[in-house]
Amino acid sequence: MLKYILAITAPIILLIGSSIGLAQTGGKMEENIPVATQWLLDAAGDTGRSAIKSVYLVVCTKTSQKGTGFLLRSGQVITNEHVIRGCQAADIFGVSSFGEKVLFSKTSIDSTRDLAVLFPQKKLDGGLTLISSDKSLSVGTAVSTWGFPLGYNGPAPLLSVGYLSGYKAEMKGNNSVKHLIVNGAFNPGNSGGPLFQATDNKVIGVVVSKHAPINQFQLSALNALANNKSGVVFTATDEKGNQIQFVESQLVADLLEYFKSLTQVMIGEAISVSELRTFLNEQGIKEP
């Protein structure tokens, strides 16, 4: 039900492409670029500009979920599987930092690695490349990501920075997925964004999650509240006019989950570029 509470952000998404105007850059006026994006491009430097132009807000209209994606030079958009979970290609669209809406013809997912590749209906210019190997990364390396954290819908992405703190083997059944642990302010909505070394624009990972200050008992209690269906039944209307029924405990659980997602915890995770490279090879995508 959280998606219905958060769905109030949907009208904001529709305004992304409306903040178009004229902006001053290099002594001339540029048209059809959102003013905030132009300011960001002017201030970001060459390395930052290539990343900003390649990062997209990713939205699924079916679930009201949103996240971040990034364009590869080979022409596909990468995001997390959980960002588009429950969605078909027709349910998903992307929005560039220039306010351009992008539609997709198909998707391919890897739920074990929590990765997804989206295939745009038309060719997109630009794109990012992958670092040759993540074995050269040192703990303490400054890292950064551009994305659309919860409650922010652009048009231009926001920068988050931190440090590589260590590594984690994320177990998915019998499979081990390599994660980078980052001391940085990742938040819901940053999921699917590219992780960089702070002074470079080659992808070293894909932002996937943040740690929340909640223990196993509290998490179990939260899930119990969310799954409880007994009590007085209320009805609410979502932004699409659908009638949604819920009991008090479910609303409490949704609100608690929402506030948990807003909590600033300076520990996040990113899927290693080696996992992304393997996923792309499995999809027959030539590495950019």
Which ranges of 55-179 does DSSP label H, i.e. alpha helix?
none
pLDDT at 29 over 80: no
Single out the residue of 151, 211, 214, 156 nearest to residue 184, CA to CA.
211
Pick the CATH number of 2-120 from 1.10.3720.10, 3.30.70.20, 2.40.10.10, 1.10.10.10: 2.40.10.10
The full set of domain ranges for the chain reads: 2-120, 216-262
User: How far is the C-alpha of 234 from the C-alpha of 213, rounded, in Å?
Assistant: 30
Token couple for 68: 């971040």
Query: 172-212 pLDDT, tens per residue?
Result: 778 899 999 998 878 888 999 999 998 889 999 999 975 55
**Left (φ > 0), alpha (ψ -120 to 50) or beta: where does 32 sit?**
left
Dump pLDDT digits (tens) for 230-281.
Answer: 877 888 887 778 888 877 777 776 766 666 555 555 578 899 999 999 999 9
What amino acid is encoded at 113 in this protein?
A: R
Please give the backbone phi and psi of residue 17, each rounded to the nearest 5 degrees, phi first: -80, 0
Residue 228 Cα distances to 4, 90, 250, angstroms: 17, 33, 7
